[in-house]
Amino acid sequence: MAASGNIPYGKQFIDDDDIGVVVEVLRSEYLTTGPKVLEFEEAVAGFCGVKHAVAVSNGTAALHCAMYAAGVGPGDEVIVPPMTFVATANAVVFQGAVPVFADVDSGTLLIDPSKVEEKINEKTRAIVAVDYAGHPCDYDSLREIARKYNLLLIADACHSLGARYRGKPVGTLADMTIFSFHPVKHITTGEGGMVVTDDDRFADRLKKFRNHGISSDHHQRSRESTWIYEMTDLGFNYRITDLQCGLGLSQLKKLPFFLEKRRELARHYKEVLCRVEGIRVLEVKSHVEHAYHLFVILVDTENVSRESLFRSLRSRGVGVNVHYIPVHLHPFYRNRFGTAEGLCPVAEEAYEKILSLPIFPAMQRDQVDEVVQHLLAEIGVLK
């Protein structure tokens, strides 16, 4: 074990302001669906420069709401990348549709627009772009394809809150954009998620789906002094609480600082890693501002396998991780949809080499040095 203790791969940053806000909400009239929900939605919409934001209980629920709002249903296909968390594809399945996996680009591990176009047929309804690690996808190409084939473009931006593409903020690049506020993400509400959109109709459908498919909320009924409500569609209870949104508001104030810290740590990783033989970092396009949810390296050396590097770094107290097992290789997808090895060779090959190194706002520069020293000790070669 390393004497200097453990370094997790990700960790929330909570200060006294965060704690104060949550306590304040606890003493207020509303614990759930009160003023903080709307305030948080407006704050995130303002941050992203979009018209609507709909907050829900987690990022997976946000993906499900977006699939519903997009009108995805049985008989439809939705194109997704394999290099993502399972929830991206699961949300398609929740709606009875089929996720179709389009391979990623080998330099960035982002969905490859040319592979997307190959998968389009008359059943295709939407494309989900995942901003893997915090790098925005090739939105110019994806939007062009979506326009050409009349498809919706949905961004799973659970890694990229605060990132920019050609100067435009994530949130404005797709028809709907999804965020997660899980503790390892850029800002946290414990559990939480959001969909942002400029489209009024999508916003209405998202709000309905998070509240049982009922077309009005309790505030509206109280204002109109009526008990009558109509359930027009089958929805869920995907509501988020005022406690969580109070925390989200306080976290959002620190987001510029969180982003700066992540970018600074990534810069430092790159400076020191370029001296280590057999380690590659992912490509970053010059027209993006990366949000660095993850710092992913590719282990490409004869000296040590990714497996043994993973094990030895863990035993040295370094919280490395692997993001992700390609989704189409999970037993559920193999069994339900007949997916197998060979479907997305670029993602499958990358999966053998990827390793996520620790990165989080409270991490120190010398902890980056420490991680790299452990790596060097295992690989043992300088350039």
Ligand X SMILES: *Cc1c(COP(=O)(O)O)cnc(C)c1O
Binding site for ligand X (CB under 6 A): 58-60, 84-85, 87-88, 130, 156, 158-159, 180, 182, 193
Write down the catalytic residue from 185, 207, 208, 261.
Answer: 185
Residue pair 328/101 in contact (Cβ under 8 Å)? The answer is yes
Lay out the sheet containing 124-130: strands in order across.
52-56, 193-197, 176-180, 152-156, 124-130, 77-80, 98-101
Which residue number, 158 or 375, has a Cβ lying nearer to ligand X?
158
Bridge partners (DSSP) listed for residue 32? 241
C-beta of residue 86 within 8 angstroms of C-beta of residue 333: no
Q: In what order do the strands lie in the sheet with 288-289?
A: 168-169, 164-165, 288-289
Closer residue to ligand X (CB): 255 or 375: 255
Helix (H, G, I), strand (E, B) or coil at 98: strand
Strand partners, 130: 156
- Please, what is the minimum distance in Å from the beta carbon of residue 161 to ligand X? 11
Q: Which is nearer to ligand X, 137 or 279 (CB)?
A: 137
Please check whether residue 121 is in contact with residue 92, taking contact to mean a CB–CB distance below 8 angstroms.
no
Identify which of residues 321 and 339 has a Cβ nearer to ligand X in the complex: 321
Nearer to ligand X, 152 or 240 (CB): 240
Residues in the chain: 383
- Nearest in space to 118 (alpha carbons), one of 137, 102, 132, 98: 102
Closest distance of CB 105 from ligand X, Å: 17
Amino acid identity, residue 81? P
Q: Is 185 a catalytic residue?
A: yes
Active site residues: 185
